[in-house]
Amino acid sequence: MLAPVAPGMERMRSIMEAQVRSDAAAVQAMTAHVGSFRGKQLRAALVLLVGKAVQARDDEHPEVAAIVELIHLATLVHDDVLDGARVRRRVACVNERWDNQIAVLLGDFLYARAFHLSTTLRSRLASQLLADTTAVLCTGEIEQAALRRDFELTQAKYEDIAAKKTGSLYSAACELGARHPSEDREDPRVARLGVEMAAFGREVGLAFQIVDDCLDVVGEEEVVGKSVGNDVEDGKLTLPVLHAFARADAATRDRMRAIYAPNAAGAATGAPRRIELLRECCDLSAGVEQAMARAHELVANARARLAPLPASPAREALDAIALFTLERRF
């Protein structure tokens, strides 16, 4: 999938490594650790692939891709603290390998390095867009935390939150691939491409989050490569669960509410985790099927946005990434 941008990805990785290098041995050990859970680096690839697909002037795209990936890493390190997660990409989370204090500070360090790198670019577009995106992403996380255990959550509000916390960075990656480094007097063709590619990223990102939320309820930790059942444990209501709730009878709904109640089941040592109770209590597979249908719809919309671009290996790869979000099991 990433073959059309392999040299750019290599360059992006060496820029990232140089950016997080530190004289402090403790920091060096931690950045090496997060390097080992680098994962698919899809957001970085999107910057480079969109740049290629729209035939942008792309000499600084590896830098932009490195900034996007550093911000993504920072958010994951912080997210694992918020979620109390133990494993990510088959490797111990920073909060598990060290502790919460270290993880908060390391996330700040990574974000600061991204911020610094953005000041070295020839235009302010990336720093402006990514600063706004980080604020949107935090807004999504805050709204999600505020609405924990609220079974009144609608599909529209769920999608709004998922678009903010996940869709926003995908969207910014694609928009920057299309637009960087243009700033003030932008060519209208480039501006139009920016809007279309931003929408492509938002839809793919939203689909990715829906699939992620399905894997959290029906996936297995060994296959997914990270802790599962965490959303239920944290009281986060996700699309598959909202659909299962909507289908349930009154008694089942009461049991579901009780499972999500703070300090209910799962609190005592040896008690089953909430996810086990939820799996027994309601029809999660029907909820997952309905949520996956929505993810398919989003991916179809996203793919249609690629059609006007000239045929190229980069456009094919974007199409494959959109499809991959539906098929991934990890």
Question: Using the rule CB under 6 A, is 134 a contact of ligand FPP?
Answer: yes
Query: What is the spatial distance between Cα 48 and Cα 51, in angstroms, rounded to a whole number?
Result: 5
SS3 of residue 164 by DSSP: helix
In sequence order, which residues have a C-beta less than 8 Å from that of residue 265 and are 6 or more positions away? Answer: 258, 259, 271, 272, 274, 277
The single residue among 58, 79, 175, 233 that binds ligand FPP, judged by CB under 6 A, is 79
Q: Which residue lies nearer to ligand FPP by CB, 34 or 248?
A: 34
Please list the helix, strand and coil fractions of the chain in percent, rounded to the nearest 5, in that order: 70, 0, 25
Question: Using the rule CB under 6 A, is 74 a contact of ligand FPP?
Answer: yes
Q: Which stretch binds Mg ion (CB under 5 A): 37-45, 71-79, 202-210, 288-296?
A: 71-79
Question: Count of CB atoms within 10 A of residue 78's CB?
Answer: 21
The torsion region of residue 182 among left (phi > 0), alpha (psi -120 to 50) and beta comes to: beta
Radius of gyration of the chain (CA): 20
**Smallest distance, ligand FPP to C-beta of residue 311, A:** 32
196 binding partner (options Mg ion, ligand FPP, none; Cβ < 5 to 8 Å by kind): none
111 binding partner (options Mg ion, ligand FPP, none; Cβ < 5 to 8 Å by kind): ligand FPP
Q: What is the DSSP letter of 54?
A: T
Tokens of 235: 């009281």
Q: Report which residue type is found at 51.
A: G
Q: Which residue lies nearer to Mg ion by CB, 83 or 319?
A: 83
8 binding partner (options Mg ion, ligand FPP, none; Cβ < 5 to 8 Å by kind): none
Site size toward ligand FPP, by CB under 6 A: 16
Angle at 29 between CA 23 and CA 35, to 5 degrees: 110
Q: What is the DSSP letter of 4?
A: G
Question: Using the rule CB under 5 A, is 231 a contact of Mg ion?
Answer: no
Q: Which residue lies nearer to ligand FPP by CB, 79 or 319?
A: 79
Question: Using the rule CB under 6 A, is 111 a contact of ligand FPP?
Answer: yes
Question: Using the rule CB under 6 A, is 96 a contact of ligand FPP?
Answer: no
Alpha helices in 36-187 (DSSP H): 42-53, 61-83, 94-97, 100-118, 125-146, 155-162, 168-179
**Smallest distance, ligand FPP to C-beta of residue 240, A:** 13
Contact 30, 98 (CB under 8 A): yes
- Find how far residue 141's CA is from the centre of its chain: 12
Query: What is the spatial distance between Cα 48 and Cα 44, in angstroms, rounded to a whole number?
Result: 7
Positive or negative, the CA dihedral 64, 69, 71, 72 is positive
Q: Which residue lies nearer to ligand FPP by CB, 163 or 302?
A: 163
Question: Using the rule CB under 5 A, is 175 a contact of Mg ion?
Answer: no
Q: Which residue lies nearer to ligand FPP by CB, 8 or 205?
A: 205
Instruction: Enumerate residues 158-217 that contact ligand FPP by CB under 6 A.
Output: 165-166, 212
Q: Which residue lies nearer to ligand FPP by CB, 49 or 85?
A: 85
The single residue among 64, 137, 173, 211 that binds ligand FPP, judged by CB under 6 A, is 137
The single residue among 83, 175, 213, 216 that binds Mg ion, judged by CB under 5 A, is 83
**Smallest distance, ligand FPP to C-beta of residue 141, A:** 5
Residue ranges in contact with ligand FPP by CB under 6 A: 74-75, 78-79, 82-83, 85, 107, 111, 134, 137-138, 141, 165-166, 212
Residue ranges in contact with Mg ion by CB under 5 A: 79, 83
